[in-house]
Every structure is written in C-alpha cells, then in structure tokens.
Amino acid sequence: QVQLQESGGGLVQPGESLRLSCAASGNTFSGYATAWFRQAAGKEREFVAAIARTGGYTYYTESVKGRFAISRDNAKTTMYLQMNSLKPEDTAVYFCAAGRTITSQLRQTSGYTNWGQGTQVTVSS
C-alpha cells in the first residue's frame, strides 16, 4: 500500500499552465503504475494520463495529448502532471492513483487500489 497526496492545483486563466505533484509514502512506489484522473462537477471520474512503473511508457486521453505531460521520479516517490495550454473544460478535481495493474486496465479506475484526496484545478477568465 502507498498513501498519495496531490498538490499544485489552483485557479488559472485559459492558456496558462499548472504543474501537479503527487507525493507517495512508502518504499514500494516503484512497484506501482500511476495515473491521473479527474472529475468535473456532476460528471464521472475520467482517465487523464498514466505512466508505467519505470516511467518508460506513458498514456494519455485524446483531449490532453500535446498539452499535458506525465512523469515520475521514483527516487523522490513523486509523480507529476505538467498541464499547458489549459482550457475551461480542464476544470475538475484531479486525483492521483497507484496500482499493480496491467496495461489493459491503465485507463480504468478499477485498475488502481490507492487514491489521493484530490486537488482542484479551475480554468476561468
């Protein structure tokens, strides 16, 4: 088990950038695939991006490709999400997740057993 804590959310204008961090406790972080999901008000939680245990493979939902970049530093037990060219439709609570999952389940909430409490990202002029 790992405990996860997100940070870095806030209020920005369209076109601006934010960098989210997800700090993990425990020394088993490198054994987990990790991901970012988001949940807008009144909507279901949706997949944003995932990264393999070693960081060698990354996966994105179509709407954020070319704008968002997921990365991780296993030595620091931390995952990041660099979000550029933010749009109002990116407004949501962003959650980080970790799981000993397989590739076919990386985009599904059921693929993860550990979740953070979320950080609010609001994109508005």
The pLDDT tens digits for 74-109 are 999 999 999 999 999 999 999 999 999 888 889 999
User: ∠ CA 58-64-68 to the nearest 5 degrees?
Assistant: 65
Regions of the chain short of the pLDDT cut 50? none
pLDDT score for 82: 98
In this structure, the strands spanning 33-39 and 92-99 are antiparallel
Token pair listed for 55: 């960081």
Predicted local confidence at residue 1, as pLDDT: 84
